[in-house]
Amino acid sequence: MATEDRGFASMDSNRQREIASKGGRAAHKKGAAHQWTREEAQAAGRKGGLARHRKSQAVVASQADQAPSTGSAPHDDQLPPIVSDPLGDDQVQANSTPSDDPTRSQH
């Protein structure tokens, strides 16, 4: 039996999903499953959004470096680091609801 024929990763994706689903249900039933708080979910979303933004800025910068020269002197400046919270969630109080804040769009 080859190593490729064994283990979770070699299983059909539907079988993997079935097994993972059983594990998730068991963890919730046992009380050991993680329950996200509103603050944790906001922090995780913000972290992912910032990572994606930084990655897209790096792609733009690398494309600019590869652009044909127009005869001007090359520059070594880079994009400044992101220091502010682009989502502004830190200004929203934890116990407010979306209807309390007129600056947040409602979906």
User: For the segment 79-91, what is each residue's pLDDT rounded down to a tens digit?
Assistant: 666 665 555 555 5
Summarize the confidence of residues 25-51 as an average pLDDT. 90
Coil, strand, or helix at residue 88? coil
Closest CA to 86 of 37, 53, 41: 53
pTM value?
A: 0.33
Would residue 31 be called left, alpha or beta, if left means φ above 0 and alpha means ψ between -120 and 50 degrees?
left
49-69 pLDDT tens trace:
998 888 888 888 888 777 665
Annotated domain spans of the chain:
12-51
Integer Cα distance of 31 and 16 in angstroms: 23
